[in-house]
């Protein structure tokens, strides 16, 4: 599974509508409204690298109200669960 994090600049007066439309797109698993340099962050999860382009350029960028995007490809995922498992190695019964 390939995960891409897409930073999205959206029209200020329609951030909610843009987020909802993006969340409904195939290949998009989550959309977050955020504070900072961008308005929205979308997580794209697909099986092939070519699908990232289809989702971002072919779908997200065509949503009315999307001004600009920047896409980051994830190399490896870390989660709290994974970190807790790594740090608890050998500590059973202590």
> What CATH number did the domain enclosing 69 receive?
3.30.70.920
What are the φ and ψ backbone dihedral angles of 45, each rounded to 5 degrees?
Answer: -125, 115
Q: What total number of domains does the chain contain?
A: 1
Running along the chain, 94 residues long, what does each successive block of 10 average in pLDDT? 97 97 98 97 96 97 98 89 57 52
Cα angle: 46, vertex 69, 2; to 5 degrees: 15
Q: What is the pTM of this model?
A: 0.83
Residue 94 domain-assigned (yes or no): no
Structural domain harbouring 58: 2-87
């Amino acid at each position: 599974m390939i995960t891409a994090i897409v930073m999205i600049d959206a029209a200020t007066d329609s951030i909610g509508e843009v987020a909802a439309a993006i969340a409904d797109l195939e290949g998009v698993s989550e959309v977050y409204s955020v504070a900072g340099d961008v308005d929205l962050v979308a997580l794209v999860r697909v099986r092939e690298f070519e699908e990232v382009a289809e989702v971002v350029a072919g779908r997200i960028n065509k949503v009315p109200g999307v001004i600009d995007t920047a896409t980051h490809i994830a190399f490896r995922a870390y989660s709290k669960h994974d970190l807790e498992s790594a740090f608890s190695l050998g500590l059973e019964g202590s």
